[in-house]
């Protein structure tokens, strides 16, 4: 089961200012999505724009801040994707999204997402960003409040040669 996340894309003059939003303060103008994460899904867009096809999709993002509880991250989009996407002509964005929307991620689990609206708003942010474009990724509070599901026994304990269960060693 995937953790439900909110991805809020916003412009900021520098990493320090963007990292200051880790506390959850209002961001002003944002482009929001529950599907388009700044690494793998935005990495797909980056490849459609001409990035190498052999990378793992992580060229598009770099984490610059993380909340103490790990529930919130601030991620800087690369200058590479800002430049590539910012140079696309507005009337070409629709054609690009037609291709991007064929991704498995959008075919399953993207109900209610307006990918065309998201792409147009992100395009404007990339063109007018002034400084950099960042993403604040926040885990859904209701999922964080739920107790974790117990791990299967096979992951928690190992058997000795005589069949007795023994705890797995902890990493230090």
- Taking each continuous run of H as one helix and of E as one strand, the counts in the chain are 8, 7
Q: Given pLDDT bands bounded at 50, 70 and 90, which one contains residue 172?
A: very low
pLDDT in tens, 146-169: 555 555 555 444 555 666 655 555
What is the percentage of the chain residues whose pLDDT exceeds 90? 33
Given a cut of 80, whether residue 171 has pLDDT beyond it is: no
Calculate the CA 75 to chain-centre distance: 8
pLDDT in tens, 103-123: 777 766 555 678 899 999 999
Q: How far apart are CA 115 and CA 45, in angstroms?
A: 12
- pTM for the whole structure: 0.76
Residue keyed to tokens 């096979």: 154
Give the CA radius of gyration of the chain: 19
- In this prediction, residue 16 carries a pLDDT of 95
Query: How confident is the model over 41-55, as a mean pLDDT?
Result: 74
63 contacts: CB under 8 Å, gap ≥ 6: 73, 74, 75, 76
Cβ atoms 9, 64 nearer than 8 A: no
Q: Given pLDDT bands bounded at 50, 70 and 90, which one contains residue 73?
A: very high
Domain ranges of the chain: 5-167
Q: What is the 3-state secondary structure (H, E, C) of 28-52?
A: CCCEEECCCCCCHHHHHHHHHCCCC
Q: How far apart are CA 124 and CA 64, in angstroms?
A: 23
72 contacts: CB under 8 Å, gap ≥ 6: 22, 24, 66, 136, 137, 138, 139
């Amino acid at each position: 089961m995937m953790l439900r996340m909110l991805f809020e894309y916003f412009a900021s003059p520098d990493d320090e200012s963007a990292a200051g939003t880790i506390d959850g303060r209002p961001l002003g103008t944002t482009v929001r999505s529950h599907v388009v994460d700044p690494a793998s899904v935005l990495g797909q867009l980056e490849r459609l724009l001409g990035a190498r096809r052999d990378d793992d999709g992580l060229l598009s993002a770099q984490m610059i801040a993380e909340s103490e509880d790990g529930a919130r991250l601030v991620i800087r989009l690369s200058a590479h994707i800002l430049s590539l996407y910012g140079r696309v002509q507005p009337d070409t964005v629709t054609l690009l999204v037609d291709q991007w929307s064929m991704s498995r991620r959008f075919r399953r689990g993207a109900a209610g997402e307006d990918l065309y609206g998201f792409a147009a708003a992100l395009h404007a942010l990339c063109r007018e960003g002034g400084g950099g474009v960042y993403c604040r990724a926040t885990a859904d509070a209701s999922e964080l409040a739920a107790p974790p599901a117990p791990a299967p026994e096979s992951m928690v304990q190992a058997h000795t040669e005589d069949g007795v269960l023994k705890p797995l060693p902890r990493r230090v």
